[in-house]
Amino acid sequence: MALEFTDANFQSEVLESKTLNVIDFWAEWCGPCRAIGPVIEELSKEYEGRVKIGKVNVDVNPNVSVNFGITSIPAILFIKNGVVVDKQIGAVPKSVLDKKIQSLL
């Protein structure tokens, strides 16, 4: 199950984490976000225990979104040791995200 990251827990859960974090910035009203949601869930199960995979609802958590300059969604950030090491804007096939995760492990 994908984790839920918020303005309140993003610092401790993501930025202070030593593992790779894959964060999906999304919103309820965004069609492409809803399309990629099941892919994020699948990846979270496949990489459980090795990669933290979660979501940030941009409508509910504006601070994190602004801090990372999120202007288009879905936006998927790959964060390692508190630093954005890669990103993907827009809905893409699972294989694209899987390949990015593999390259960063």
Catalytic residue list: 30, 33
CA distances (Å), 96 to each of 13, 53, 75, in order?
25, 15, 14
Return the CA Rg of the chain. Answer: 12
Three-class SS state of 34: helix
